[in-house]
Amino acid sequence: MAREFQRGHKARISDLTAGRDLYVGVQIAGPGLTFDISCFGLDANERLSDDRYFIFFNQPKSPEEAIQQLGPQAGDTDSFRVTLDNVPPAIQKLSFTATIDGAGQMSQVGPGYLRIVAGGEEVARYSFTGSEFSTERAVMLGDFYLKDVWRFAAVGQGFDGGLEALLKNFGGEVAEEEPAPAPAQGATPGFAPPGQAAPAPGFAPPAGTPAPSAPPAPAPPAPQPAPAFGAPQGTPPQGMPPQGTPPPGTPHGTPPQGAQPPAPGTPQMHGAPTIAAPIAPPGQVPPPGQVPPPGQVPPPPPPGQFPGQQPPFGQQPGQAPPAPAPYGQPYPAQPYPGQPGQPAPYGQPHPMGGVPQGGGALGLQAALSKYREAPTGQRWTPQNSRLMRVDLGVGGQPVLARQGTMVLYQGKVDFSYKGAGFRGRIVGNATGQEMQLMRCTGQGQVFLAENAAELHPIELQGDAICVSAENVLAFDESLHHEVRRIEGHGIPGGALFTMQFQGTGTVVVKTEGTPVVLPVTPTTFADSNAIVAWSAGAQVIISSQVRLRRSAYPGHSGETVNLQFRGAPGNFIVVQPYEV
């Protein structure tokens, strides 16, 4: 279970996980905002003394690949891979930051998080929302820092300037002060290449640039047409040309990879920050680590000429293969088996130096303590995402629950049959929205769950909500409930029925999987099987795709009847990822 961090919390990473190969995911979003997520590798004085450890969209990894930017995935706006054992000793701190690209301020940011995943399990999560910030344009989210051992700190500190100011704060240099032929537009960070024919950051080494000692190649190396790793997949700054499409007119051509004699046979997926950009000019390669002046139009290199200066982080095919990543762990995470020159340790027998017998907390109590019940004084308490505890003593009114959902109870609780009444029975039989309910009365705590479905308590304060009857787990008896009917052609059974709850109290809704809550807009549709609930203010319309002939044959879309919702702003619908 992930450990929740608050702003200012710190912990040793070894306390969070035994893993040293960490995945750091950042989710941050706001309406109309784009973000640059970066990682600063700072020295002991908290300065960015080596620009190669400024990991951002144009430089997606550090020289020894201890820090790699992976781009958006798995729900994260951006993500990094940090191999702590490979971080050079000069780097004492890794600061993860998010900056707004373009106009905007941090207070507009919705709920986001920074999380650490190790061994397939999320071990730490620091959540934040925009309400913690004001007019800042950047935020330092969290730090990995070395103090005897590597530690993690949830920082959450806003920063007034953008990425450029942040970079200056860390002692980095922004090369924009140099006279540039094409000034960066507006709020674009200074080192973002302007959207001209030269999106090349100067420090990008040509993909597959041979080492100086290598024999000359007849053809100039080409950029990776489809950058698999190095491309800033996240939020490219404004003015950045689309990835993978070199600007027309740059005469570099795209010979296939195999046509490069000195290049290794396999594509260098991450040997160089493969930016979809023309080749950096030979001889004009700025010293590595220098952020290049924008707008410098590099002429295409003449064939056969090679830069005399080799950026140290480029791959050097003519030389010894890059040092194998010093994965000293018995089970290295080696995600790039295709990389030439690196041993693929998966096939090897592990150096099994004895099984550690200890590890972890000792004893029964320690192992189970994280699953302990969490009593609060409240009537409804979620124990975890799938188990609800209701304290009948609080509030003093009975609870109606679906039959058979009790998994445990303490105290004197009586379970009795709750009939729907005569009229209810008739309606129930006719509509299929009959619920087999039981009434829980007495004094004590009842734990409710069903089939490990996710549970969501919804507290009603005089308002109303419609819930599909299959998705109701339990509710306070004080709530008024009735069956509502939605008519329409094309629905199996002739009509759809839902339960409407109204009054003051709590309804517990269960969903298979994590649901999505959508605001009702003029174009909100939902599958009638997957819909869980909607606010009662929304009006439901059946929209059926009438394609009689198509549906008679195999191969139709299978989505024939949809529900469309209309309503004032503020209404919402809840949909589960499961079609009952």
Stretch 423-452 residues interacting with another protein (CB under 8 A): 436, 438-439, 444-445, 447, 449-452
Based on CB atoms, which residue is closest to another protein, 157 or 381?
381
By CB under 8 A, tell whether 19 contacts another protein: yes
By CB under 8 A, tell whether 548 contacts another protein: no
Rg, Å, the chain Cα set: 30
Select the residue interacting with another protein from 21, 36, 51, 391 (CB under 8 A).
Answer: 21
The interface region with another protein, picked from 258-266, 291-299, 378-386, 526-534 by CB under 8 A, is: 378-386
By CB under 8 A, tell whether 324 contacts another protein: no
Beta-carbon contacts of 229 under 8 Å, excluding residues fewer than 6 positions away, are: 60, 61, 68, 70, 269, 270, 274
Per the listing, tokens 């919705």 go with 110
How near is the Cβ of 61 to another protein at its closest, in Å?
A: 11
Q: How far apart are CA 222 and CA 204, in angstroms?
A: 12
Is the distance from CB of 192 to CB of 238 less than 8 angstroms? Answer: yes
Q: How far apart are CA 158 and CA 169, in angstroms?
A: 13
DSSP characters over 177-196? GS--SSPPPTTS-TTSPPSS
Nearest to 181 by CA among 193, 171, 172, 170: 193
Residues 192-251, interacting with another protein (CB under 8 A): 228-229
Is the distance from CB of 189 to CB of 183 less than 8 angstroms? Answer: no
How near is the Cβ of 330 to another protein at its closest, in Å?
A: 6
The interface region with another protein, picked from 3-11, 14-22, 160-168, 498-506 by CB under 8 A, is: 14-22
SS3 state at 175: helix
How near is the Cβ of 115 to another protein at its closest, in Å?
A: 10
The interface region with another protein, picked from 117-125, 182-190, 203-211, 300-308 by CB under 8 A, is: 117-125
How near is the Cβ of 86 to another protein at its closest, in Å?
A: 14
> Rounded to 10 degrees, what is the CA torsion of 245, 247, 248, 250?
-120
Select the residue interacting with another protein from 47, 386, 484, 566 (CB under 8 A).
Answer: 386
Q: How far apart are CA 562 and CA 580, in angstroms?
A: 14
How near is the Cβ of 19 to another protein at its closest, in Å?
A: 4
Instruction: Extract the tokens encoding 464.
Output: 């109303």
Q: Compute φ and ψ for 176, nearest 5 degrees.
A: -70, -20
Based on CB atoms, which residue is closest to another protein, 297 or 368?
368
How would you class 400 by CB atoms within 10 Å of its CB: exposed for 0-12, middle for 13-18, buried for 19 or more?
A: middle
Q: Compute φ and ψ for 332, nearest 5 degrees.
A: -70, 145
Residues 249-278, interacting with another protein (CB under 8 A): 269
Nearest to 386 by CA among 477, 479, 470, 457: 457
Q: Compute φ and ψ for 449, nearest 5 degrees.
A: -165, 155
Is the distance from CB of 77 to CB of 27 less than 8 angstroms? Answer: yes
By CB under 8 A, tell whether 360 contacts another protein: yes
Based on CB atoms, which residue is closest to another protein, 94 or 118?
118
Based on CB atoms, which residue is closest to another protein, 445 or 571?
445
SS3 state at 370: helix
By CB under 8 A, tell whether 71 contacts another protein: yes
The interface region with another protein, picked from 71-79, 316-324, 511-519, 557-565 by CB under 8 A, is: 71-79
Give the amino acid at 46.
Answer: E
Instruction: Extract the tokens encoding 64.
Output: 């020894």
Select the residue interacting with another protein from 44, 368, 541, 580 (CB under 8 A).
Answer: 368
By CB under 8 A, tell whether 351 contacts another protein: no
Beta-carbon contacts of 410 under 8 Å, excluding residues fewer than 6 positions away, are: 444, 445
Based on CB atoms, which residue is closest to another protein, 352 or 548?
352
DSSP characters over 448-459? E--TT-EEEEEE
Q: Which helix (H) or strand (E) holds 16?
A: helix 13-16
Select the residue interacting with another protein from 337, 421, 432, 492 (CB under 8 A).
Answer: 337
By CB under 8 A, tell whether 87 contacts another protein: no
Based on CB atoms, which residue is closest to another protein, 100 or 399?
399
Based on CB atoms, which residue is closest to another protein, 115 or 137?
115
By CB under 8 A, tell whether 23 contacts another protein: yes
The interface region with another protein, picked from 11-19, 104-112, 235-243, 283-291 by CB under 8 A, is: 11-19
Select the residue interacting with another protein from 127, 329, 529, 551 (CB under 8 A).
Answer: 329
Please give the span between the terminal C-alpha atoms of the chain, in angstroms, as a whole number: 29
How near is the Cβ of 35 to another protein at its closest, in Å?
A: 20
The interface region with another protein, picked from 211-219, 347-355, 422-430, 501-509 by CB under 8 A, is: 347-355
By CB under 8 A, tell whether 335 contacts another protein: yes
How near is the Cβ of 72 to another protein at its closest, in Å?
A: 10
Based on CB atoms, which residue is closest to another protein, 415 or 525?
415
How near is the Cβ of 92 to another protein at its closest, in Å?
A: 23
Nearest to 68 by CA among 102, 105, 94: 94
Give the total residue count for the chain: 580
By CB under 8 A, tell whether 383 contacts another protein: yes
By CB under 8 A, tell whether 320 contacts another protein: no
Say how many residues touch another protein, by CB under 8 A: 84
Select the residue interacting with another protein from 48, 87, 118, 465 (CB under 8 A).
Answer: 118
